[in-house]
Amino acid sequence: MQWLRDMWTREGPGIPKDAPKKAGPALFAEILVREWWEMVKLNILFILAALFVVTLPAALAAMARVSVSFVEDRNTYLLRDFTEAFLRYFWRATAWGLALGGTVAIGLYAIVTYAAGARDNLLLSAPLMIVLVATAFIAVLACHLVILMVMRDLPALRLLRLAALASVIRPLPALAALAFAAGLWLAHILFYPVSVFMPATFNFSLGMFAVAFGVHRAAVMVLDLPNATQPHREPHARDAL
């Protein structure tokens, strides 16, 4: 049974220290090639953790935490890291998931309603565009918020402000990541039943990895890393001497 335990607990592969740095799609592809088997296992963990539906936001947060480790090329111990993140972010992820998920659902319903009405009344095109842009912004905000949440423990209001700031600074990478994730599900639908195993093998984890990869730079920018990685403390009187 040693091989079975090692499959879930061993350290993930790394990269040579002297390897030239890549960026953009090349870096995305490099990480994907290096971590594809970990992503398959992560996908299975996510499905198991989200089976009860109410655990879906926490499972997403745990998957995001592991995905950030992939992006930052840090050692990952998949089962341990996923479980710890699931328990650590359970209540916060559930609260944010209900708030943001409900808002996006309302926005999608409004989009469908206005789109149906705009076919007969062109005046409804204006509110349709407003709702469309607002819903897209909330989706981008949600992407930044979940990544920021798993990167740093922050008060709720500050987390929301930083997520909004990141969404304004760099919205396009998040939109591209969402489009990539949507493309995975579109491919699943178009090529069904050949693609029947796509969700079970990599759709969820690859989609979340794309989101983490797309918004990570904006998250780092608003957190002002590496200075923000240091624990905050009040200056001691002795420090001023």
CB atoms within 10 A of CB 145: 24
Residue 14 confidence (pLDDT) above 90: no
Enumerate the domain spans of the chain.
Answer: 23-228
Q: Is the peptide bond before 199 cis (omega within 30 degrees of 0)?
A: no
Residues 6+ apart with CB under 8 A from 96: 57, 142, 145, 146, 149
pLDDT in tens, 194-231: 888 999 899 999 999 999 999 999 999 999 855 443 43
Q: pTM surpassing 0.85?
A: no
* Contact indicator for 35, 2 with CB cutoff of 8 Å: no
Are the CB atoms for 211 and 177 separated by under 8 Å?
A: yes
| 43-72 mean pLDDT | 95
Asked whether residue 146 carries a pLDDT value surpassing 70, the answer given is yes
User: What is the model's pLDDT at position 13?
Assistant: 53
Mean predicted lDDT score pLDDT of the chain: 86
Q: Is the pLDDT of residue 10 over 70?
A: no
User: pLDDT digits over 72-102, tens only?
Assistant: 988 889 999 999 999 999 999 999 999 999 9
